[in-house]
Structures are given as structure tokens and as C-alpha cells.
Chains A and B, each alone.
Chain A
């Protein structure tokens, strides 16, 4: 089919992005000696365990030391510590690409697993819930308000809107979150300041879900407030520029009702860039989740990232998460491409 080609071309680029990020990760870990330190720590830990085990059987301290050293050499070879970091590079890249993300040092999943993939998978839905809810609300408000504002371009209200958009862009979502907590949780005591469930959490079922929503109000609200301004302004501008095109005048001259003109000949034509804006918003709030989840102690991937960076750094988790973020990012970009092809016949044949 005609639109397979553009999508495939795009997919290749995006896979290139994935690889490039991965190589960047591995190279910066290797070149800064980070990766060596990580592996040494792992080896050291295993050797400590071995020493206690060996001490049971080998009494002579000199003998014990020799046995331990032999084991250490073995382990170092196993982890590739005897080679320089760049010779390990292909292996590492391959491992991460096959989603073999390794074990966390300190962090655990709620079921106690140390496997990084378990930990991340457990957090993924929480982040997804947060940002998709915010996205849906932003999209709804942005589309309705943005397209109505286009009809009032140049009025006082329209100008006020552009100021709102600029301000909204200038506000960091995480700081807005702090304000929200101060106001709604601390001052008014209306909403929970953070976390995902009350303590103790309600039994499973509807109540639990409602509790979750209750806790999601402030983070979602913060996210929406900072994304909706720029978004509705871009919807407005996009709609406005389509509205000035000749075919809209023709549609009116045809005697189509105004509603049809707006929907079919303005919004529908402006849809591809509008959807682009939306997906770009999604990808940026994906990164932004690191901050907002930290503020609200929302146990998603973002908070996990923060936990892995702050306190005792958990390198395996950091690498894995950066990769997963890139993966999701790239997936969203590709989704955008698919939507674009569906929405705009012009790109189908190029």
C-alpha cells in the first residue's frame, strides 16, 4: 500500500534514534569509568558472599585468600572487567536492546523482585494513567477552546488567551504541583498531598479506583494547566491559518452550514498539525513525569528515575529507564507518523 513506505522510512530513522541513544548511554558510562565502577561493585559484593561461603570449608587464611582471589579473577573475566569498556560495548548494547535490563542494586519491585524489567513494568501503568488522563483533558479543552478562540481572533479575550498561553508555558509543572500542594493539601486540606492511595488503601474494586483518582487530581491538574495553554494557542493559530485558506471561502459559498464548514473544512484540515502538537505534548510530559511524580510521590517510572538518581544511585535502573523512556518516546513519534498518514492524504504518496 502506498503509505507503507513513508512509515517504514520513518521507522528506520526512529530505530536509528534508539540505537544512537543506547550507544550514547553506553559510551558515556564507559568513558567516564562509571561502568567499571558499577561492575567492580557487583564483583566486590559477590566476592564478599563467596568469602563467607569459602571460609566455612577453607580454614587456612592464606589458602582462603588465594581461593578468593582466584574467584575474583574469574568473576572479573565474566563481567568483562579485564577488557576495556569499549570492547564490552556491543554486548551491552545487544543486551539492553533485547530488553535484558539486568538487576537493580537497591531498588525493588513491590513483590520484592530485583529484576529491573519487573520494577519498570510495575511502574509503567501508573505513569501511563497519569499522563494519558492529563493528555485527554488537555486535548479536549485545547480543541474546544482553541477552535472557538480562532473565531474571535484579535478580540480582547483572544489577547488574554495568548498571555495565558505564554504564562502557562513559563510555569514548570512540578513547581505548580508544589503550589497545588501548598494550597489544596496544606492550606485548604481538600486533597491529598501525594501518594497514590490513602493509608490504609481501600480494598480492591471501585473504591480503590476512586481513591486512585482522588490522588491523581492534583498531579493531573498541574500537568493540564501547564500543557493546555500552549496547546490551545497552537490549535487557535493553526485553525486560524486554515480558516484563511481559499477552500474555506469556497465551502461557505457553496452554502454549507457554518458547522460543517468549521468541522469539515477547517478543523479537519488543521487536524494533522493539531494532532502533532498533541503527541509532542505527550512525549514532553513523558519526560516531565520524572518531575511531577517526584513532587507528588506518584509511584510511576518518573519517581523511579528520581529514586534511582537521588540517594544511593542505582545505575542499572538509570540506564534501563533512560532506554525505556527513549523507547516510549520513539513509539509515540511513530504513532504520530501513523496518525499523520491517516489524516493527511498528501503524505501518503510521497
Chain B
């Protein structure tokens, strides 16, 4: 059967169509991922916590807000380089946060970057002006002073910034307690405040409300006031982050990593594993099968014994062992997968070759003096091709699932992002028991869809491989009375 014929036959089946469609979609998506993300994304970004520091942690995807009703807090990053106000030595950087949500931000941080001073470090003060006119000083971040032997001007936070969490710590607690006492004459016990600082910043005290706090909606001005000693002193940028109660397309994990990115980059890797492993395994399996069947004799015996042994080895325990002992590089994992998976095809192809060898086609090729290699590749291989192809398609999901299992056990390649690893970190962090479904369901769904794509193609290949089942309604079974 020609490749074209096979494709036509494949596309004639429902599963074949569905599988092809999915495969094309997955390939397109992974092409996008490869273009959009650097190749060292896994090593350089995914496993680097500072990349994700501004993200809220363990929050569900944005779209869940649509389902749950209520206004969720959008993740808000506000940044400025210009002071809004300059009075004397003090420059005020002001950013406005419109707070209209039904839940408070998950956190509030300020980050200052690019400080340069000539004598003494600038004095910083973070102030929140609330919609009802009240205001509170939440923090006084310290810029480190000159070190001995260092010459002016002193540069601080050129790379990385001075980050201060405004929603934790004793200082904020005290400041808010005083605010509530002074402005609302409410004495909120510090123990209550301490666990609800983010909520307290955007609330007014109200007995009876949850936590004793009622959300105060409106415009909040977040200010950073910097007082400089020297007019030449500079401040690069100020950034306020109000942590959203939901984030991105797929939410975040406990490090604030954007799961949508992890899921997307996991796709080309999964496809790479599945396709590489299955091509290598089928190539080896088919070649050995043809050689074994066609050469016969000692070669055959050796290959058969080897296949027999390898076919009876427990795959997963050995994989775990080898990856554990030898190493967990992605290519190594693929190598191990291939090393244990070729015998099935070898045995199948060999038996087909034995049948073919005695057939007329090959005999006549021998008569006209074709070389062995030519006979094997031109006359024998084409007959086994549908089976080889079916096996190849079938092996891809097996490889993907095996790698996912390894990753889930913590044996994945740390330099790449795989769905199995995302699941592993989710499971280890207890996402399952905390109900953080967005961390553990989508990666699994991604695995299933990818594996299913190949399974559907395999299903579609069935009529090609097994013509007896082609018509779908074979004669024979339940013949009794069918006609009446």
C-alpha cells in the first residue's frame, strides 16, 4: 500500500480524521511555543523564582471569575519613572490603583530600582492614600549606605530591585492598627490584623463584617516619597504590584509561575519525546526484524534471543532505576525508552518477513539478481510498512506517558519543563489536598489529549492493518436470524 493510499484510508475513518486534526493543531501550537519562547526557557526562566516574584501565588485562572460570579481582583502592575510631585528635596512617585473587586489583592509590594546617590542614601517612605481621604505610611524601605572603599556616586539596585512586601510584617500591622484607631476609633486586635493585612489596607473596620473589616472600594493612590540629600541623586523607577486573586489563562503555582506558559512549552517537549522515541524505536525494531527474518541463521538466533529477553523486562522499574543511576537528561530518558521498546515490532516484522521470503515476489527478485539490501528495502519493507507505521503511532503515546510517569516521580530532566514535572511539583506541594485544581488538572488533560491524538490515529490505522475489520460490519457473528 502506498503512503498516499494509507493516508486516504486513515482519513476515511472517524478516529483518523479526529486524530489528524488534533495532530495538526498540536503541531501548530508547539511551533508557536518554539517561536515564542527561548529554548532555554526551562533552565533560565521556569526554575528561576525571581522571574515570577511579582506574580500572585497559587491563584486560579482569570476566567474562573466568570464562573464564580463576583468581581475578582485583577493582577495589577503599576510602574512609573517620573515623580508626580517635587517639593524641595522630596520627590513623590504616585500610582493609582482602582479597586473595585469583591476580594482584596492577594498581596501588595513595592519595588524600587536604579537608585544612585552621592552622599547619604535617600530616605524612602511608602504611603497609601485611601478613597475616604485617610492615609497610612506602610513602610520605610532602607537603601544600603556606602561601603568602605566605595566611591561616590553610589549605585544601588541597578539589576534587580529593592522589593518590599507591604502586606506582611509587624510594621504594617502597627501602622494599620493606628490608622483604624485614629480615624475610625476602632480597636482591631493585632492578631486579627496580622493575617488579613492585604484586606485591611483596602478596608474600613466594621464590627460584624468578616474579619471585622469591610472592603472600601475606590481609587487608591500608592505613593513612594523619596527625600534626597543631593540634587544629583536619582531614582530609576517605582513599581507597585497588587496581587490578583486570579492570574492569567491557567493560574499560577505556589512559586507564582504562570502555568499557561509551562503548559504551552510542555507541548513541544512532549511531542519531541513521543515522536523521537517512536521513530527511533520503530526504526530499530523494523530493521532488526527484517534483518533477522531475512538473514536467518546465527544473526536471526541472536536477535531473537535478545528480543525475547528485552521484551520480558519490566519497563517502568528499570527505567526508574536507570534514570536514577545514570542520569535524567531528556535524551537519556528517550534512549532508555527506545532501548526497551523495540522487540515487539522486531518479532512481528520477522514473522511477516518469513512469510514474504517464501513468497513469489521475493523469489523473483532473487532470480533477477537483486542485492540483499535491495530486496530487503525495496521488496520486503513496503509490505511491512503499514504495521510499522501503526506501531510507530502507537508507541508515541506510550513514550509520552512513560516520561510523564518518570517526571511525576521526580526523575524528569530539570532543564526542561514537562507536564509531568508540573504535576509532580503540584502533588508535592499538596495542591491536590488544597483543592488547587488548576495546577494538577490541566497538565494531565494536556498529557491525555496529546496521547489521545496518537491513539486516535492508531485506531484509524486499524482498517489498514487489519483489513478483515475494514467494513466495520463483518459477517459471521450473530448470523442467526439476522436476515429475517
Question: Are chains A and B touching directly in their complex (CB below 8 angstroms)?
Answer: yes
Taking Cβ atoms with an 8 Å cutoff, the residues of A that contact B are 13-14, 16-17, 20-21, 24-25, 28-29, 32, 34, 150-151, 153-154, 159, 162-163, 166-167, 169-172, 174-176, 178-179, 181-182, 186-187, 193, 237, 240-241, 243-245, 248-249, 252, 258, 266, 283-284, 286-288, 290-291, 294-295, 305-306, 309-310, 313, 318-319, 321-322, 325-326, 328-330, 333
> Does B325 contact A32, Cβ atoms closer than 8 Å?
yes
Q: B89 an interface residue at 8 Å Cβ cutoff?
A: no
Q: B198 an interface residue at 8 Å Cβ cutoff?
A: no
> Does A20 contact B309, Cβ atoms closer than 8 Å?
yes
Q: B458 an interface residue at 8 Å Cβ cutoff?
A: yes
> Does A182 contact B320, Cβ atoms closer than 8 Å?
no
Cα-based distance from A145 to B459 in the complex (angstroms)? 19
Given contacts A167-B455, A171-B448, contact A249 B476 (CB under 8 A): yes
Chain B residue contacts of A295, Cβ below 8 A: 427
Chain A residue contacts of B324, Cβ below 8 A: 309, 313, 318
CB 8 Å contact bits of B408-434 with A (1 = contact, 0 = none): 111100000000000100010000110
Given contacts A182-B435, A313-B324, contact A326 B317 (CB under 8 A): yes
> Does A240 contact B477, Cβ atoms closer than 8 Å?
yes
CB 8 Å contact bits of B435-469 with A (1 = contact, 0 = none): 10100110010011101101110110000001011
> Does B478 contact A151, Cβ atoms closer than 8 Å?
yes
Total A-B residue contacts, Cβ distance less than 8 Å? 183
> Does B451 contact A174, Cβ atoms closer than 8 Å?
no
Chain A residue contacts of B312, Cβ below 8 A: 13-14, 17, 329-330, 333
Chain B residue contacts of A330, Cβ below 8 A: 312
Cα-based distance from A171 to B401 in the complex (angstroms)? 8
* Among all A-B residue pairs, the 8 with the closest Cβ atoms: A287-B316, A170-B451, A243-B477, A154-B473, A166-B455, A175-B444, A154-B472, A170-B452
Chain A residue contacts of B437, Cβ below 8 A: 182
Cα-based distance from A290 to B458 in the complex (angstroms)? 27
Cα-based distance from A179 to B423 in the complex (angstroms)? 12
Chain A residue contacts of B432, Cβ below 8 A: 178, 181-182, 186, 193
Give the one of B305, B324, B472 with max A CB within 10 A.
B324
Chain A residue contacts of B480, Cβ below 8 A: 252, 258
Chain B residue contacts of A241, Cβ below 8 A: 468-469
Nearest Cβ on chain B to A346's Cβ, whole angstroms: 16
> Does B314 contact A329, Cβ atoms closer than 8 Å?
yes
Chain A residue contacts of B313, Cβ below 8 A: 17, 20-21, 326, 329
Given contacts A32-B325, A290-B320, contact A186 B423 (CB under 8 A): no
Known: A248-B477, A291-B408. 7 other contacts (CB 8 A): A13-B312, A153-B477, A169-B455, A175-B440, A187-B435, A240-B469, A252-B479
Nearest Cβ on chain A to B151's Cβ, whole angstroms: 49
Cα-based distance from A153 to B427 in the complex (angstroms)? 41
Cα-based distance from A174 to B312 in the complex (angstroms)? 23
Which chain B residue has the least Cβ–Cβ distance from A245?
A: B476
Q: B98 an interface residue at 8 Å Cβ cutoff?
A: no
Given contacts A244-B474, A244-B476, contact A159 B317 (CB under 8 A): no
Chain B residue contacts of A150, Cβ below 8 A: 477
Cα-based distance from A269 to B205 in the complex (angstroms)? 79
Q: B293 an interface residue at 8 Å Cβ cutoff?
A: no
Cα-based distance from A322 to B315 in the complex (angstroms)? 10
Cα-based distance from A317 to B169 in the complex (angstroms)? 46
Given contacts A25-B321, A172-B447, contact A309 B409 (CB under 8 A): yes
Which chain A residue has the least Cβ–Cβ distance from B479?
A: A252
Which chain B residue has the least Cβ–Cβ distance from A167?
A: B452
Q: B475 an interface residue at 8 Å Cβ cutoff?
A: yes
Give the one of B15, B317, B322, B404 with max A CB within 10 A.
B317
Which chain A residue has the least Cβ–Cβ distance from B19?
A: A166
Q: B209 an interface residue at 8 Å Cβ cutoff?
A: no
Q: B326 an interface residue at 8 Å Cβ cutoff?
A: yes
Chain B residue contacts of A170, Cβ below 8 A: 397, 401, 447-449, 451-452, 454-455
Nearest Cβ on chain B to A130's Cβ, whole angstroms: 15
> Does B458 contact A166, Cβ atoms closer than 8 Å?
yes
Cα-based distance from A244 to B474 in the complex (angstroms)? 7
Nearest Cβ on chain B to A107's Cβ, whole angstroms: 15
Q: B318 an interface residue at 8 Å Cβ cutoff?
A: yes
> Does B322 contact A28, Cβ atoms closer than 8 Å?
yes
Q: B244 an interface residue at 8 Å Cβ cutoff?
A: no
> Does B397 contact A29, Cβ atoms closer than 8 Å?
no
Q: B82 an interface residue at 8 Å Cβ cutoff?
A: no
Nearest Cβ on chain A to B39's Cβ, whole angstroms: 27
> Does B321 contact A286, Cβ atoms closer than 8 Å?
no
Contact of B325 among A29, A159, A176, A326 (CB under 8 A): A29
Chain A residue contacts of B476, Cβ below 8 A: 243-245, 248-249
Chain B residue contacts of A240, Cβ below 8 A: 469, 474, 477
Nearest Cβ on chain B to A5's Cβ, whole angstroms: 17
Q: B285 an interface residue at 8 Å Cβ cutoff?
A: no
> Does A244 contact B447, Cβ atoms closer than 8 Å?
no
Cα-based distance from A309 to B407 in the complex (angstroms)? 12
